[in-house]
Amino acid sequence: MISGPKFKRFVTYYWRLSRNYSTPYAIAQLLVFAVTTFNILSNILVLGLDESLGGLAGYVARGLTEGLLFLVFCHYVLRGYLKTQFIQYSVNLKRGLRLLALLAGISALHVLFIYHFDASSYFGDLETDSMTIVINEKEHVVDFNTPQIWVIALLNQLILYLLWSLLYIFWHATKSKRELQKQVQEARIQQLTNQLNPHFLFNTLNSIRAMIFEDKTKAAELVTQLSELFRTHLQAHLKPSTTVEEEWRIAKQYLDIEKVRLEERLQLNIDIEPDTLEQKLPTLLLLTLAENAIKHGIAPVVNEGLLSLKTQKTAPDRWQLVMSNSVAREQQMPGTKTGLKNTRQRLQLMFADKAQLQITKSADNFTVTLDLPYV
């Protein structure tokens, strides 16, 4: 026997669980209610609209009430049982029989409510003891008070509740699979993001090392700016994705550091459309592109170099990010292409086939163009 406090906790838990649902689930339940009500009304209308049996208003009220009853049993009883006692466990014969027993109990209660509706006058006089069906000009009388009819009604409700349960289990399994895929995807993106931090620190320390022999004051300034940049990283916990606005703020801190070292050799041309500031990018993507542009393009150039960044909305559902940099005509510094490979992987993980990365090379220019979905 279940004690009073345990039963109270049981009911309280089920009540809290029933209040926690997603919007897609609510929409699906409304569709179930509509379909169930329509099916009930269709079955009732087979009897024919007769004012002596309550008329149209009585039929509609009865159909809506029975559809609501189905919804209540599914949401407040069946859903809670599936979430707590079935879905999270491995399926076996014992657990399956328990579910069938619950479905049979709910179906029996549903049929009893139907009998009560028929015997009451809540919706007008809807009680019908029998129905005459004409087949091949012969009359067949169906008696609704026979046990066979109630057994058929019970089996009908059992099938409906079983169908709802199977659909819910399938929907929940699909949802769990998507969530697991998302977690794995975010973990992979985070792993690729974490690879960038040592890479960035190594490049920046090399810049400071080179500056120490040229200008100790500027080297000290570089250390200060580097500490500010890493403080930003620590204060804002790295997520798999962030906005263009935040990406540019971090990339600008890095470019300010390189500006101290390169001075007039680094010229910037920035054109970021306001419409793109809230668009999503993999974290540190701009920083990665900026590092590549400086290390392999502008730093080796003795003369003045130009780094350009442009973002623009190209269609209602698309936008572009274009970063280009000047390169030495004579030679370009060899690279491992780790940064661009990392960028491709992270774009693929975040946007799948909706993102495109295109590289354009010329004698004195290197351009990376990202074509991304606008959301």
pLDDT tens profile 144-171 = 567 777 788 889 889 989 999 999 988 8
pLDDT band at 52 (very low <50, low <70, confident <90, very high): very low
Look up tokens 């549903």; give the residue: 110
pLDDT band at 53 (very low <50, low <70, confident <90, very high): very low
Q: Which of 161-170, 222-231, 248-257, 347-356 comes out lowest in average pLDDT?
A: 222-231
For the stretch 294-333, pLDDT in tens is 888 888 877 888 999 999 999 999 999 999 999 876 555 4
pLDDT band at 89 (very low <50, low <70, confident <90, very high): confident
293 with 307: CB under 8 angstroms? yes
Residues 173-179 have a mean pLDDT of: 76
Cα(263)–Cα(301) distance, integer angstroms:
13
Pick the most confident of 35-39, 102-106, 257-261: 102-106
Cα(373)–Cα(375) distance, integer angstroms:
6
Sign of CA dihedral 86, 90, 91, 94: negative
Please report, for residues 45, 124, 135, 152, the alpha-carbon distance to residue 139 in angstroms, rounded to integers and kept in the order given. 19, 28, 6, 21
pLDDT beyond 70 at 4:
no
DSSP letter for 353, please: G
* pTM tops 0.75: no
Residues 185-211 have a mean pLDDT of: 64
Sign of CA dihedral 319, 325, 331, 336: negative
DSSP letter for 276, please: G
pLDDT for res 311: 96
Cα(320)–Cα(307) distance, integer angstroms:
17
pLDDT for res 313: 94
In DSSP terms, which residues pair with 311 in a beta bridge? 272, 321
Q: Tokens for 195?
A: 């690879």
349 with 335: CB under 8 angstroms? no
Cα(262)–Cα(146) distance, integer angstroms:
95
H helices within the chain, ranges in order? 4-18, 23-45, 55-72, 79-81, 93-119, 147-212, 216-235, 244-262, 285-293, 338-351
278 with 374: CB under 8 angstroms? no
pLDDT beyond 70 at 18:
yes
pLDDT for res 274: 94
Look up tokens 């920083």; give the residue: 287
pLDDT for res 357: 93
Segments of the chain assigned to CATH 3.30.565.10: 185-373
pLDDT beyond 50 at 279:
yes
CATH number for the region 185-373 comes to 3.30.565.10
Q: Tokens for 342?
A: 């990392």
pLDDT beyond 60 at 64:
yes
Please report, for residues 102, 173, 217, 263, 273, the alpha-carbon distance to residue 82 in angstroms, rounded to integers and kept in the order given. 10, 12, 68, 66, 49
Residues 97/102/107/112 CA torsion (nearest 10 deg): 130
pLDDT beyond 70 at 7:
no
pLDDT beyond 80 at 259:
yes
349 contacts: CB under 8 Å, gap ≥ 6? 185, 188, 189, 192, 282
Mean pLDDT, all residues of the chain: 78
Residues 14/17/19/24 CA torsion (nearest 10 deg): -130
pLDDT beyond 60 at 130:
no
Look up tokens 């940064």; give the residue: 339
pLDDT for res 182: 65
Look up tokens 């090399």; give the residue: 206
Cross-sheet strand order for the sheet of 356-361 = 266-272, 305-315, 318-326, 365-373, 356-361
Cα(85)–Cα(14) distance, integer angstroms:
12
Percentage of the chain beyond pLDDT 70 is 74
pLDDT for res 300: 82
Q: Tokens for 301?
A: 């150039």
Count of CB atoms within 10 A of residue 172's CB?
17
